Structure 1
Amino acid sequence: MSELMPLFLFIGVVAVLLLGYPVALSLGGTALAFALAGEALGWFDPSFLEALPNRLYGVITNETLIAVPLFVFMGVMLERSRIAEHLLDTMAMLFGSVRGGLGISVTLVGMLLAASTGIVGATVVTMGLLSLPVMLRRNYDPAVAAGTICASGTLGQIIPPSIVLVLLGDVLSSAYQQAQLEMGVWSPDTVSVGDLFVGALVPGLLLVGLYLLYQVGLAVVRPQAVPAIPAEERPAGRGELARRVVSVLLPPLLLVVAVLGSILGGLATPTEAASVGAVGAMVLAAARRQLSLTILREVVRQTATVTSMVFLIFIGAAIFSLVFRGFHGDDLVTEFLTGLPGGVVGAVAVVMLVMFLLGFILDFIEITFVVVPIVGPVLLAMGLDPVWLGVMIALNLQTSFLTPPFGFSLFYLRGVAPPGVGTAQIYRGVLPYILIQLAMLAMLALWPALATWLPGLIYG
C-alpha cells in the first residue's frame, strides 16, 4: 500500500481542487495531511521537509523569477493605457476593406498583445470586450468571432515574453541539472528563459501564420461569415490611414523589439529586459496621457496580487513536491515512464496527454510547479532537448486552454461575451483552431529543429 501513496496524494490534491479550495492551500495542505498520516504509519520520513526553507530561500534569491512581476506590470500598464483599443481600431481600418480583414486584425493585435503582456486571461478578456461587439456589429458569424478571439488571446502562452516560458525556464533548468546528476554527468550548460524565448519564436510565428491562412481560406469558402467593413466607414485617404498606423502601431512594436531584441542580441537577461518593458510601458502610457497616480496605484496593486498568487502557489507546490518525493513518487514515475512501450516517444506522448487533461482543471502555474518537476528530470534523462520540451509543454497547454468543455480561455470569453453569444457557439468557433494547434504540435514533434534551430544559431 505504501508504494501507492504518491498516486493517492496526487488524486487527493485533484479532489480538493475540484471542491473549490484555493490552489496553493490545496497543494500544501493536502501534502502535509498525507505526510502526517504517512509518518504515523511509518511510510514517510519527515526529514524530507527540512529542505523546504532552503528551497524557499532559493526562490526568493532567484533573479530569473524577478521577471514575473516586471512582465505582469508591463502587461497591466499596457492594458490600462488603452493601447489594445487603438491597435484594434487601426488594424481594422487597415485590413477592413477585404473579407475576413477584421478577423485578421484581431489575430495580429492578439499576437502583439501576447508579445507585450504575456498574460492569457488579460488578453482574452481585453479582446473580448473590445472586438467581439465590433465583429458582431459587422455581421460576423458569432462562432467565428468567438473562436478567433479565444485563439488569438491564448497566443500569450507561446509568443515571448510569456509568463509561462519564464516559469518553465526556471523549473526546467533545475530539472536539467537533476537529470545530469542522475545520469552521472555534469556540464555547465543549462536551459535558460532566454533559450525558451528564442526557441518559441519560430513555432509561435508559424502558429500565427496558420491562423491567418485559415482565416483567408474561410473568407474564400464562407464570405458571408466574415464580411468586409463598409466603404463609408473606412478612412477617406491613404495618407490619414498611414499616419494613424505609424502613430498607433510603431510605439508598442518598438517596445516588443526592445524587450525581445535585447534578449536575442545578448544585451540583457530576461529579467533586465523585463525591466526595460516595464519602464517602456509607463512611457507609452504617459505619451498617451493615460498615466496618473490612480492608474499607477491600480497597476501596482494588480501586479502585487498576481505575483503573490504565483509565489504562494510555488510554496504550496514545493511542499507537495517534497512530500511526493518522500513517498518515493519520483521513483514510481521513473519506473512508469521508462517502462512504457515505445521508449522516449511513448513517455513523451503519455506526459503530454496527462498535461493536456490537467489543463482542464489546473492553471499553467500549478502544472509548471507541480507536474514538470516530477516528469522533467525523467524525460530529460532520456536525452530530450530541454528547449524543445519546454516549447512543447507551452504549446500543449495552449491547446488545452482552448479545448471544450473546460478550456480556461473559453471561460474568460464566456464571462465578457454579450448575451447573444452562446456557449455552444464559442465551442464551435474554437474547433478549427484546436485542429491547427494539434497540427502545430505534430509538426514540432516531427521536426524538433523548429524550436532548437534558432537558439543554436544565436547561442552557438
Structure 2
Amino acid sequence: MEHLFLALLVIIMIGALASGFPVAFALPGSAIISIGLAAFFGYLFAGDSSAYFAVDGPKEWLTAGITNFRSNYWDVETDTLIAIPLFIFMGIMLQKSKIAEDLLVTMGQLFGPIPGGLGISVIFVGALLAATTGIVGATVIAMGLISLPTMLNNKYDKSLASGIVCSSGTLGQIIPPSIVLIIIADQLASAADVANTMRQTDYKILTGEFNMPGEFRVGSTSAGDMFLGALLPGLVLVGLYMIYVFVYARLNPKAAPPVPFKGSFDSKFWIKVLIVIIPPLALIFAVLGSILLGIATVNQAGSIGAIGATMMAGYRLHKGKKDAYYPIIIAILSVIPIYILSKNYNLNIKAVETRDLTAIFITGFFTITFLIGIVWSFWRAYKIENVLREVVTETCVTTSMVFIILLGAAMLTSGFRAFGGEELVRDFLQDLPGGFWTQFIVVMAVIFLLGFFLDFIEIAVVVVPIIAPILLAEPGANVSAIWLGVMIGVNLQTSFLTPPFGFALFYLKGVASKLVTTLNIWKGVVPFIILQLIGLGIVGFYPSLVNYLPARTYLTSNVAPPPMNPKLQYCLQEYKFAIYNTEEQRITNAIKDMQKLTPANLPMDKLDIFEEHFDNAFGTFAIVKKLQKTEQEYELFTKDYRDLHFNVRKIEKKIRKIDQKIKKTKAEIRNLDDDNLSDKNKLELKIENYELEIKELQNKVPENWKAKNGEFDILHKAKNTRTKRYRKNVDEAYETLDQIVMFINDNEKLKELSPEIKELKYNIDNKNYENAISIIDNLFEKLGEISGTEEFANKLDDLISVIDNDEVDEQKLSEVSSETFDLFNLEVSWRDDANKNLMPELIKYNDVIKHNIGLRLQNRLTKEQAKFVARCNSVHRDISLNF
C-alpha cells in the first residue's frame, strides 16, 4: 500500500506543478497531503496510522520533514549557501551596468574580420558572462538583446545565430561560479554521508568487520571543489563551440560572413580592448583564483565578486567623465600597500609581543581609503539610473526563490522516503544489468528528460538527494562526488537547450526579433546539443578533467593531508614502487654506506635500534617483490573472477532484501490476534512465496562459486597481509631513524645534566644518601624530556633502590653506581661524537630514503608527489572486490 501513496505523492506534485501552482508550495504540500492521507486511511482500515508507511509512521516523517525544513533554514548561514546571493548580485550588477554590452561590441570588432569571428566573439563573451553571472536566464536574455540583432544585421544565418546565443548563454550552468554547482555541491555533501553509511553497512555484512578502511570511504565535496572540477569541462565546451562555428563558417561562408572593422587596429583600439576585457578577466581571476589558491572560501570569493562587480559598474555608469576611474584607482592603490605590509609585518593586534603598531596604523589608513573607494562605487550605482536598487531587488527575489524551493524540497524528500521511494529507486537501479554504468546512464537520461519540465533548482534538490547516494555508494565504479556533480551539471545544461521545452529557447524567443521563428531557434540549437553530448562523453570518459584540479589544489594547500592519509595509500604505493624498481641499487648502497658508519661506542639498546633500522631498510626490497608478485597473481586471477563475484554478490543482496521482508511479515503475524486466522494464513503463504524466491535465487549461484571465492579469499588476504607488512616495515624503519636523529639532537640537553651527575657521585661517595635521592628525583623529571634515556633512567632506578634502605649494601652500591655513571658517560660520548661526525651523513642518508622508505611518515607531500597522486587519484577505480 505504501507504493500507492508514493504514486499519489508524485501525481499530486506533477499536477500542482502543471497547474502553475508555486513550486515552493507544491513540493512540501504534496508531501504533507500524501502523508496525511496515508495516516488517515491506515487508521481507518488497519487501525494503525503507521500501517501504510515503509518505515516509522506519519509523526516521525512529519517531524523529520520539519527538522529538515528548519535545518535548511539555518543552513543559510553556511559557507556554501551564503554564496548564492553574492554571486547572483555580482551577475545582475554586471548585466545592469552594461559591461556585457561593451564586451560584445569590442570582441565583435576584434574577431569580426575572420569568417565566423562575430559568432566566436559571442561565445567568448558568453563564457566570460558565465564566469561572472552564473544565471542562465539573465545571460541568454542579455545575449539575445545585444548580440542576436548584431549577428542578424551582419547577415548571419538565423538558425546559427540563435544556436550561438542559446548555447553560449547556458554556459553559466557549468562554468564557475555557477549557482547550479553551489546547490548541487550542497546536496552532494549530504548524499556522500548517506552513501558512506550504505557502503559501511554492505562492508560489515559481507566481511564481518565493523570498521571499513578509510580508503574505501566516499569522498565528499564542497562548492569550491565543484568550481575547480567544472572549470576544465566548461572550457572543453567553449572550445567545441568555437571550433564548430569556425569550421561551419569555412564550409558555408554565407552563414557566418566576416564583419570588417571600419576603424583601424591602432594603439587606441588595443587600449580600448584592454580596458574592456581586463576588468572582467581580473574579476574572474579574483573570484576563482582566490578559491584555487586557497586564499578565500566560496562565500568570501562571492563577496570579492560582488564588490568587484560594483566597482566595475561604478566606472562604467560614470563613463566619459574625468573622475570615472577615481574610486577603482583609490581601491587598487590601497590594496597594494596593504598586501605588502601584511607580507612583511605582523598585523595581528592580539599578538602583543610580535605585533608592529606602526605597520598596523598604516594598514588601517589604507584600509579606510580602500573602503572609501568601495563606498564611492556603491553610491554611484545607487544614484545613477537607480541601478543598485534594481540589482538588490532582483537579487532578493531570485535568492528567495532558490531558498524557498530548498525548504520545500526538504519536506518532499522526507515524504518520498516515508513511502519507501528511495528503496524502490535503489532496487530498480541495482537490478539493472551492467552495474554502475547502466544505472548512471538511466539516471542521466531521467535527469535529461526532467530538464524539459523542471528548473535546475528543482532537479538538484529533489532528484539528486535520491539518486546520488545510490550511485556514490556503488563500489564497482567508485566515482567521486565532484565528478558526479559536474556530469549532472553538464546534463542539465544540455536539457536547457533541447526542443521543445528547453528553457533557453523560451528565454531567447521572448526577446528575439519576429524575423527569428521558433523553428529557426530549434534548428540552431541541434548542433550545439550534439556538441554538448560529445562534451558530456569526453568528461565521462576522462574523469581526470574533473577530479585532477580539485585534488591537486587540495594536496598542495596549507591544509593538505599527511602522506599517512588512507585515501593516498594506493597512489603513494604506486609512486614508491616505481622508485624501488628503478633506484634499488642507489638506495641499498646508501643503506650499506650508512651501516658502515655505525658508531662503535654505542650502548646495547642504541645498537639494537641501529640494527633494527638497517634490517627493516634492507628487508623493504624483498617484501616489495613478494607484494608485487602477490598483486600480479591477484590481478591475473580477478580478470576471470570479477564478473562471477559481481553477479553472486548481486544475488546475495536480493536474498538479504527478501530475508528482511520475511522478518517484517513474521513481525506482522506476531502482532495479529490469535483468532485472526485468515490474515495469518495469508501472511504465512506470503512467507512461503518469499522462501521459494530465495531458493530460486540460490539455484542461480554457479556451482564453482564456493571454490573460486575460496581461492579469491586466500589471494585477497595474502595481498592485504603483505601490504600491511610492507607498510609496517617501512614505517618502523623510518621511525627508528627518527629515533636516532632525536637521540643525537638531544645531546646538549643530556650534557647539561653533567653537573648534577657529578654532584650525585659526590653525595654517594660521601654517603649523603638523602641528598642523592633528591638529586635522582630531579634527574627523573629532566630525563623525561630527553629521548633515548630509558636505559639510564632504569639504572638510576636501580641506584635509588639500593640507597633507599636502612642498611646500604656498600659493595652493591659501588657496582650499581659505577654502571650508572659509566652509562651516562657512554651516552654523552657517543652522542657528542655522532653530532660532530655522524649527523651530516645522516642528513644525506635521510635525503635518499625520505621520499621512498620514509614517505608515509613525512609531514606533507612534495609538489611533485602531490601532482602524481592527484593524477593517480583523479581516475576512478573499481573496489567492488573488497565488498
Distance 2:260 2:481 in 1: 49
**Pair 1:375-2:391 in alignment:** no
Query: Which of 292, 295, 303 is 1:275 aligned to?
Result: 303
Q: 1:292 corresponds to which residue?
A: 382
Taking a change above 3 Å as real, the CA distance of residues 8 and 340 of structure 1, as seen in their structure-2 partners, is farther
**Pair 1:216-2:246 in alignment:** yes
CA contact (8 A) 1:211 1:433 kept: yes
**Pair 1:406-2:501 in alignment:** yes
- For residues 51-98 of structure 1, the C-alpha deviation after alignment (integer angstroms, 9 at most, x for no partner) is 234323332232310000000000011111100100000000100111
Q: Does 57-66 or 197-206 show the bigger shift?
A: 57-66
Q: 2:198 corresponds to which residue?
A: 182
Deviation at 1:4, TM superposition (A): 4.0
Query: Which of 375, 383, 388 is 2:483 aligned to?
Result: 388
Normalised by the length of structure 2, the TM-score is 0.51
Q: 1:417 corresponds to which residue?
A: 512
**Pair 1:192-2:222 in alignment:** yes
Query: Which of 37, 43, 58 is 2:71 aligned to?
Result: 58
AA in 2 matched with 1:168: I
Taking a change above 3 Å as real, the CA distance of residues 76 and 216 of structure 1, as seen in their structure-2 partners, is same
Instruction: Specify the SS of the correspondent of 2:432.
Output: coil
Instruction: Specify the SS of the correspondent of 1:69.
Output: helix
Query: Which of 233, 253, 256 is 1:203 aligned to?
Result: 233
CA contact (8 A) 2:79 2:298 kept: no
Distance 2:397 2:238 in 1: 31
Q: Does 293-302 or 156-165 show the bigger shift?
A: 293-302
AA in 2 matched with 1:57: R
- For residues 94-121 of structure 1, the C-alpha deviation after alignment (integer angstroms, 9 at most, x for no partner) is 0011111110010000000000000000
Distance 2:4 2:542 in 1: 37
Deviation at 1:250, TM superposition (A): 0.5
AA in 2 matched with 1:22: P
Unpaired runs of 5+ residues, structure 2, are 43-51, 201-211, 319-380, 556-883
Q: 2:188 corresponds to which residue?
A: 172
AA in 1 matched with 2:170: T
Distance 2:290 2:218 in 1: 23
**Percent of counterpart pairs with the same letter?**
50
Taking a change above 3 Å as real, the CA distance of residues 143 and 189 of structure 1, as seen in their structure-2 partners, is closer
Alignment of 1:11-410 (within 5 A): 11-42=11-42, 43-44=52-53, 45-46=57-58, 47-59=60-72, 60-61=74-75, 62-184=78-200, 185=212, 189-231=219-261, 234-289=262-317, 291-293=381-383, 294-382=386-474, 383-410=478-505
Distance 1:41 1:19 in 2: 27
Q: 2:788 corresponds to which residue?
A: none
Deviation at 1:229, TM superposition (A): 1.3
- For residues 129-185 of structure 1, the C-alpha deviation after alignment (integer angstroms, 9 at most, x for no partner) is 001111111111110100000000000011000000000111000000111112225
Distance 2:275 2:405 in 1: 40
Deviation at 1:188, TM superposition (A): 9.5
CA contact (8 A) 1:93 1:241 kept: no
CA contact (8 A) 1:97 1:230 kept: yes
CA contact (8 A) 1:150 1:430 kept: yes
Q: Does 399-408 or 59-68 show the bigger shift?
A: 59-68
- For residues 290-328 of structure 1, the C-alpha deviation after alignment (integer angstroms, 9 at most, x for no partner) is 612421111111000001001111111111011111111
Q: 2:529 corresponds to which residue?
A: 434
Distance 1:172 1:108 in 2: 30
Distance 1:392 1:237 in 2: 42
- For residues 12-64 of structure 1, the C-alpha deviation after alignment (integer angstroms, 9 at most, x for no partner) is 31232122211111111111111111111221422212123432333223231
Instruction: Specify the SS of the correspondent of 2:312.
Output: helix
Distance 1:359 1:14 in 2: 14
AA in 2 matched with 1:436: L
Instruction: Specify the SS of the correspondent of 1:250.
Output: helix
Greater RCO, CA 8 A, separation 6+: 1
Instruction: Specify the SS of the correspondent of 2:263.
Output: coil
The alignment of Structure 1 onto Structure 2 pairs a total of residues equal to 458
Distance 1:57 1:273 in 2: 27
Q: Does 2-11 or 127-136 show the bigger shift?
A: 2-11
- For residues 206-248 of structure 1, the C-alpha deviation after alignment (integer angstroms, 9 at most, x for no partner) is 11001000011011100011011134xx322321220111110
Instruction: Specify the SS of the correspondent of 1:224.
Output: coil
Distance 1:283 1:52 in 2: 42
Deviation at 1:384, TM superposition (A): 2.2
- For residues 373-403 of structure 1, the C-alpha deviation after alignment (integer angstroms, 9 at most, x for no partner) is 0111111111321111000000000001011
Deviation at 1:435, TM superposition (A): 0.5
Instruction: Specify the SS of the correspondent of 2:132.
Output: helix
Distance 1:188 1:132 in 2: 45
AA in 2 matched with 1:31: A
Distance 1:393 1:237 in 2: 43
AA in 1 matched with 2:260: P
Root-mean-square deviation over aligned CA pairs:
1.4
AA in 2 matched with 1:25: F
